[in-house]
Amino acid sequence: MNKTQPQILSGDYIAGFVDGEGCFDLQFRRDVRHERTNKPVYYGWRYQFVIVTRKDDEELLSKIKNTLNCGTIHFARGDQARYSVQDMENLYNIIIPFFQKHPLSGKKNKDFELWAEAIKILYQNKGKFIKKWSKEDFQRLIEIQKLMQKYKAKRPQGFKWISMAETMAETIK
């Protein structure tokens, strides 16, 4: 039995598609662990690269996934399919170099450049408690998140926990 090779797409095609449908996401988030006694609250940075399309574009998302060789495809509410990469190693070692080799256009490229800088900071601080980070790194992430908002659709949740991040930054030496 012959296995067929998965179809892959050109890097320039993917970059053009991401210009219209992709998102480079960076958020400071609050998570409550409801399953634990006293429901502890944790704060931290969340990041991902996402493409959201209609469900009938699943084959195209599969080709993108095969080309990039990372990420997952999920089906969201209604008629949506969602390709996302959330693994730090894949973001740092695959997604960033891919879009540096196949540049995006206009404001999406500016958004990507800010996001890539944030991913590099997060990668360098991987595994460290926030209080062990340099204050400059933490404050730069806050600044990057704020700068990225002008490239996003108007979303009030974009800054939902940023004041908590600013308070936490004051406690870092």
User: What would the pLDDT profile of 29-86 be if each residue is shown by its tens digit?
Assistant: 877 776 767 777 778 899 999 999 999 999 999 999 999 999 999 997 789 999 999 9
* pLDDT for residue 154: 64
Which H helix or E strand runs over 25? strand 22-32
What's the average model confidence in pLDDT over 20-31? Answer: 90
Lowest mean pLDDT across 28-32, 88-92, 116-120: 28-32
Share of the chain above pLDDT 90, in %: 65
**To 10 degrees, the CA torsion angle through 47, 49, 50, 51?**
170
In this predicted structure, the answer to whether residue 24 has a pLDDT above a threshold of 70 is yes
Q: What is the pLDDT of residues 152-171, one digit of tens each?
A: 766 555 566 677 777 777 77
In this predicted structure, the answer to whether residue 93 has a pLDDT above a threshold of 80 is yes
Instruction: Tell me if 64 sits within 8 A of 9, measured CB to CB.
Output: yes
Tell me which range, 2-11, 110-119, 139-148, is most confidently predicted by mean pLDDT: 110-119
Q: Supply the pTM of this predicted model.
A: 0.87
Pair type for strands 80-85 and 72-76: antiparallel
In this predicted structure, the answer to whether residue 9 has a pLDDT above a threshold of 90 is yes
In this predicted structure, the answer to whether residue 119 has a pLDDT above a threshold of 80 is yes
Instruction: Tell me if 32 sits within 8 A of 41, measured CB to CB.
Output: yes
Cα 108 to Cα 134: distance, rounded to the nearest angstrom: 29
What's the average model confidence in pLDDT over 5-12? Answer: 84
**To 10 degrees, the CA torsion angle through 122, 126, 128, 134?**
-30
